[in-house]
């Protein structure tokens, strides 16, 4: 199995919980943010972690996801909504419940796309989110 170039089947995807997809999608999104920061010279080595946290925190993700919702096809929208509507075990202090749920939906979508090997679509959505 090549975990950098996944090609999960519908059955495999269906066996993963929404929070499982979000768990993976959180990491995918963070790697993309870190790469974007490095490649765009957005932070010094010392400030990279702090800069990354600004983008991966739930309030920032909730704001950025609004930019891509109109671009999602029906199936992607369903995955986002299932992730958003899942019941988190706890909510961080720096986020409202609605922000955290939106961020969870985004992360579930990114995990779902990653597991299918749809990196082109991930990059397309990410680029829309990161537009200044």
Residue 122 sits in a domain of what CATH number? 1.10.1520.10
Structure confidence at residue 8 (pLDDT):
95
Judge whether 2 lies within some domain: no
Share of the chain above pLDDT 90, in %: 75
* Distance in angstroms (rounded) separating the CA atoms of residues 16 and 74: 19
Mean pLDDT of 46-75: 93
Q: Which of 2, 26, 73, 78 is catalytic?
A: 26
Count structural domains, the chain. Answer: 1
Would you call 11 a catalytic residue per the annotation? Answer: no
Residue 109 is part of which domain span?
11-130
Considering the entire predicted model, what is its pTM?
0.93
pLDDT digits (tens, 9 = 90+) for 120-129: 999 999 999 9
Among the listed residues 25, 19, 29, 23, the one whose alpha carbon sits nearest the alpha carbon of residue 55:
29
**Does residue 6 lie in a domain region?**
no
């Amino acid at each position: 199995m090549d975990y950098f170039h996944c090609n999960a089947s519908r059955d495999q995807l269906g066996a993963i919980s929404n929070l499982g997809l979000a768990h993976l999608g959180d990491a995918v999104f963070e790697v993309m943010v870190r790469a974007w920061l490095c490649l765009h010279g957005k932070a010094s080595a010392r400030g990279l972690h702090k800069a990354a946290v600004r983008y991966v925190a739930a309030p920032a993700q909730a704001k950025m996801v609004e930019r891509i919702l109109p671009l999602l096809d029906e199936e992607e929208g369903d995955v986002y909504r299932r992730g958003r509507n899942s019941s988190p075990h706890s909510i961080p202090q720096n986020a409202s419940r609605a922000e955290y749920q939106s961020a969870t939906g985004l992360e579930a979508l990114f995990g779902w796309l990653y597991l299918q090997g749809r990196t082109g679509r991930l990059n397309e959505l990410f680029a829309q989110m990161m537009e200044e």
